Amino acid sequence: MRAVASLAAEPVFRNHAGKRPTPWEDVQDLVTYWHLLLNLVHRDLTVRYKRSVLGFFWSLLNPLLMMVILTIVFSHFFRFELAHYETYFISEYLVWVFFAQTTANSMASLAWNGPLMKRVRLPKTIFALSGTIAGLINLGLSTGPMLVIMVFVKAPIRPAMLFLPVSFLIIALFTLGVSLGLSALATYFDDVAQMYQVGIMGLMYLTPIMYPKTIIPGRFMWLVNANPLTHLFELARYPIYFGQLPPLHVVWLSLAAAVGALVIGWTIFRRLAGGFYLHI
């Protein structure tokens, strides 16, 4: 009975020389593994907080404490002439933490799941994707304490903030692209993770997160403008700090950066994925 039932819809798996899945097949693969994706997201969220007493709230407390420190430093020691500096800072700091943590986690996650990939056939991009989704959930939750702070410092909260889900999504696409490329490279070369440490530090100062763009000398302006994060993060700053929808050119530049990062990162990942086997 079993044989008759299974014969009709019996899947046939062919594995032959030169077989390389198309991008579309990669996507379909991810769809069939969505149970695993849910589990990975769940694991990312729970394992991270399981062993600390404050648990999940630590992730919310961390940007809060960081913000208090930086607010004191920048509004009392180095003075930028900005109204509601706290809000100015936190509007981009939140997405910065998301970007930095997610990309760093993606490298660790791929290495950590190496043994798994040697034994089970699964879409390898699933780890970067689940890390980005988990980070995105965290980011969404951290808007809660941000609102509390904004109320506390009497900063205005405006309806433009309803645009934030779109902002976060575009930033997440960019982050996913960077995570894919970085994690693939980090699997091949030991020094990528170390160079990343330096790189991410430089990038943070190159992005106007804690200082206003106006303090940058004119001859360095191109450098800040060439940094995709400058535009991407403004997607969050406009609704939160300025209370306006981001201007169209910011949206277009960000979308272009996100799509570009995704294409490049995914291409690197697909080219290197076949050889992960030898490096993990």
Does 278 sit near other proteins (CB under 8 A)?
yes
In angstroms, rounded to a whole number, what is the distance separating the alpha carbons of residues 188 and 160? Answer: 43
Does 53 sit near other proteins (CB under 8 A)?
no
Residue from 141, 67, 130 nearest 102 by CA? 130
Does 51 sit near other proteins (CB under 8 A)?
yes
Does 189 sit near other proteins (CB under 8 A)?
yes
Q: Which is nearer to other proteins, 189 or 222 (CB)?
A: 189
Does 121 sit near other proteins (CB under 8 A)?
yes
End-to-end CA distance of the chain: 43
Interface with other proteins (CB under 8 A), residue from 5, 22, 50, 219: 50
CB of 10 to other proteins, least distance (A): 5
Q: Which is nearer to other proteins, 53 or 278 (CB)?
A: 278
Interface with other proteins (CB under 8 A), residue from 5, 14, 31, 159: 14
Q: Which is nearer to other proteins, 117 or 240 (CB)?
A: 117
In angstroms, rounded to a whole number, what is the distance separating the alpha carbons of residues 61 and 59? Answer: 6
Q: Which is nearer to other proteins, 170 or 185 (CB)?
A: 185
In angstroms, rounded to a whole number, what is the distance separating the alpha carbons of residues 105 and 125? Answer: 14
In angstroms, rounded to a whole number, what is the distance separating the alpha carbons of residues 92 and 234? Answer: 7
Interface region with other proteins, contact rule CB under 8 A, candidates 98-106, 158-166, 182-190, 237-245: 182-190
Residue 234 — left, alpha, or beta (φ > 0 → left; ψ -120 to 50 → alpha)? alpha
Sequence-ordered list of residues with C-beta below 8 angstroms from that of 210, at least 6 positions apart, any chain: 70, 74, 89, 93
Does 192 sit near other proteins (CB under 8 A)?
yes
Interface with other proteins (CB under 8 A), residue from 30, 70, 111, 122: 122
